[in-house]
Structure 1
Amino acid sequence: MSTTSTLKLETLTIEDNSALTDLWFAAFSDPILRRVFPNTPGVRKWLENANAHDLLNKSFQRYIKVVDTESQDAEGRPRIAAYAKWDLSMPEERGRRYPPWHEEMPGELCEAFFMKEEANRKRVMGDTRHFYLDTVATHPDYQRRGAGSLLVKWGCDLADAQGVQAYVDASKDGAPLYAKFGFVDHSLPGEDIASMARR
């Protein structure tokens, strides 16, 4: 099993934004999610613009990345193995998670998908202040090498330092990673997404 010796945690910058889109689509190939986010040039640009907006305008959202210090991307920079988006705001400050849906996206399905996630988070967390792990994306080349753990630990350590709870919407496959850090699944029976809270 590979170690994390070549993997390093860093703050993500706007210069990394186009690489994030490539990584996101490589990491999330689940058929259900791909229906919501079809891999088209228009949707890719929409996602890139959404991340750019949040990077530049939402200081309460922290983007962090794990780079491979022994591998370079096409521009000669350390390759991004994984990234995470942690939302540190109060629940009432967050506002809408995404901009209006792209015309190539199934708008009604998108609304239903994310409204269900929001409803489950509200059911589990109520109005309690908590850090929200919005996204963890690991490139398939780096899965099970510790990149995801570095990203989750970063937010959990910050939550512990501030005495704050944390929450993540996890795939069933991804749930064991979060359980290692103290997240507990509060999903209702039959749910596809694990509603996981760390008290």
Structure 2
Amino acid sequence: MQYQLSDVQHSDAEVLVRKCEIPANRRDPLRTIMFPNANARLSEEDEEIVKWTVESLQESLENNVCYFRKVMLGLDFYVGYAVWSLEYGSQGMKKAPAPDMRCESWNPATLDTRAWAEVSDRLREERKRVLHGQQTIWRLTSIQVAPEHQRKGIGSMLMQWGCDKADLNRWNSFVMASPAGVPLYHKFGFKETGQVWTELGIFKSMFRESKKAV
């Protein structure tokens, strides 16, 4: 069986969260800041996190400025996905809502809302600093690969799709990178422009200028 890149459907959200996002983020600094007391294995409390994350992904799927791709192994195995958003500046075009700002009426019991708000504010300020004056930005908001399929080219497949689309449309790209993602983004031409320090790791702001499409 081969890995295949395809569109994401609304019905894919729960399995992508369960098979890819939750397992991939067990040791992610931002996830640990948000959920410092979450269990290593799925528990009743973790089911709240799953439900909350699924709702967030479904909400993004309904947003026409968000673009999704998933990677499948055969027809049945979900191994990774990525979300890109096309965001605009201040020349009369609507700016995409930031995916890190949730508007739901409930939060999981294990979510440290204070810590989450604090680090989100710092990441957002760094993003605003780097993107000041940019009128159109192609932003990678999430890339998730199931642990058992990491280091097999899945992340590169997802990145290649996003970078090809950016180059075709002459969009500059941005990602706020967790420590683990920095080498992959370097590989696709992203350059470090700043950083946000946290006790659990350093996040890097990374920018990529569009290249002439071949």
TM-score (normalised: structure 1): 0.86
| Aligned mate of 1:78, from 76, 99, 121 | 76
Q: Distance in 2 between matches of 1:119 and 1:26?
A: 29
2:54 aligned residue (44, 48, 54): 48
Matches of 1:93 and 1:161, distance apart in 2? 21
| TM-score, reference length from structure 2 | 0.80
- Structure 2 match to 1:195: 205
- 1:1-150 equivalences under 5 Å are 6-22=2-18, 23-30=20-27, 32=29, 33-37=31-35, 38=38, 40-56=46-62, 58-69=63-74, 77-91=75-89, 93-97=95-99, 98-100=101-103, 102-104=107-109, 105-128=111-134, 129-150=136-157
Residue 116 of structure 1 deviates from its aligned partner by 1.4
1:61 and 1:89 in contact (8 A); partners too: no
SS of residue paired to 1:185: strand
Give the Cα separation in 2 of the matches to 1:59 and 1:7.
26
For 1:35-65, what per-residue CA distance to the aligned partner results, in whole angstroms no more than 9, with x for missing partners? 4144622121111111112212x01101110
Q: Which residue in the other structure is 1:72 paired with?
A: none
1:74 maps to: none
Question: Tell me, what secondary structure is at the counterpart of 2:107?
Answer: coil
Secondary structure at the aligned position of 1:186 is classed as strand
Count of residue pairs the alignment pairs up = 187
Q: CA deviation at 1:103?
A: 4.5
Q: Gaps (5+ residues) in structure 1?
A: 70-76
Distance (whole Å) between structure 1 residues aligned to residue 76 and residue 137 of structure 2: 32
What's the secondary structure of 1:89's corresponding residue? strand
Deviation at 1:31, TM superposition (A): 5.8
% identical equivalent positions: 26
Please identify runs of 4+ aligned residues in structure 1 that moved more than 6 A: none
For structure 2, the residue ranges without an aligned partner over 5 or more in a row are: 40-45, 210-214
Contact 1:167/1:196, CA 8 A, preserved across alignment: yes
- Report the secondary structure of 1:122's partner residue: helix
Does structure 1 retain, via aligned residues, the 8 Å contact 2:123–2:196? no
Residues of 2 paired with 1:88 and 1:164: CA distance? 9
Q: CA RMSD in A?
A: 1.9
Q: Secondary structure at the match of 1:95?
A: coil
